[in-house]
Amino acid sequence: MASGILSIDLDALVANWRALDAKTGSGTETGAVVKGDGYGLGAARVARALARAGARRFFVAMAEEGAAIREALGHGVGIHVFSGHMPGDTDMIGDLDLIPMLNSIDQLTRHFEALPGTPYGIQLDTGMNRLGLEPVEWAAVRGLTEAHPPQLIMSHLASADEPGSAQNASQLRQFREMTDGTGVLRSLSATGGILLGADYHFEVTRPGIGLYGGLPFTGALPVASLTLPVVQTRIVGPGETVGYNATWTAETETRIATVSGGYADGLLRSLSNRGTLFAGGIPCPIVGRVSMDLITVDIGALDHVPAGLDILCPEQGVDALAQAAGTIGYEILTSLGARYQRKSVGGLG
């Protein structure tokens, strides 16, 4: 088999959800963000595991993602759509009982006219300037929502991964000013906001990256591991080059392994000549350029030719790999390509 094996530890996923849930009080419900195909690990797979663990509120980016979660879980759970009620979404929202998080007066009008009396939520802009009703807009329409209140009012913290940022306190203050007295469930915090403490928790939290083993949740268990099969090996001598444009030259004789995986699989080209794979805990550096389907690795430190090399493993989690690539763990996870054989492991698998 020439495809890499992406293993998803559902026990670790659930343990991370429970650990984040434990950081909030009994009056706070912990949901789960499963957008981006469950951060690249398979939305249906992770949603089913989290639902079995007790999650009853899920968050996706668009209605099409909500449809996939409804198919996986059936009815009985709430599915919130961050992009709100977009043109063309009406039938999907209505038929599948999705909860659009309305972001504008236009969306509010569209939803109330097309699906009167059906569930919805409100997203507020408290300073990120990305999605949501601004304070003056909310003040203009807040009274219109009182006869048919939203299921949830939310906003999004821009700097929650920087606990010392003054923007956190500013957004918290703005959110309270815009929502106090509504009597509606509120949500401000994803993973980073949960870690900021009780003032940020409100009635619903919605962890995302922390569920999947990523920062800023330093206590997260790793969820994803990835092994790339070795396709071929060769000995290169001093002065020989490897890969496109000859960007790496051997100083001594060594063995090079070519593994199946490349930037078409989400392994970023920026890992060229700087990333590392592992064999039984022994580091094996990437040499030459990462290409579309193949990566060349120096395995001269090994006393054998392995069947595969690990790129996500105990020695290198998603954030360590992200650091080597000059990006963040979110991009590593959500870029993992469709060609991998995805395999659930653990008691929930």
**Active site residues per annotation:** 35, 244
- Cα gap 292→264, rounded to integer Å: 5
Element (H, E) at 344: strand 341-345
Q: What is the DSSP letter of 60?
A: E
Q: What is the DSSP letter of 133?
A: B
Q: What is the DSSP letter of 326?
A: T
- Cα gap 191→133, rounded to integer Å: 23
- Cα gap 307→227, rounded to integer Å: 10
> Which residues share a beta bridge with 279?
282
- Cα gap 100→191, rounded to integer Å: 21
* Cis? peptide before 216, omega within 30° of 0: yes
Element (H, E) at 66: helix 63-73
Distance of CA 188 to the CA centre of its chain: 17
**Crossing angle of the two packed helices 43-53 and 10-22, in degrees rounded to 10:** 50
Dmax of the chain from CA atoms?
Answer: 78
Q: What is the DSSP annotation of 278-322?
A: EETTEEEEB-S---SSEEEEE-TT-SS--SEEEEEBTTB-HHHHH
Q: What is the DSSP annotation of 8-54?
A: EEHHHHHHHHHHHHHTS-TT-EE-EE-HHHHHTT-HHHHHHHHHHHT
Q: What is the DSSP letter of 181?
A: T
- Cα gap 269→264, rounded to integer Å: 10
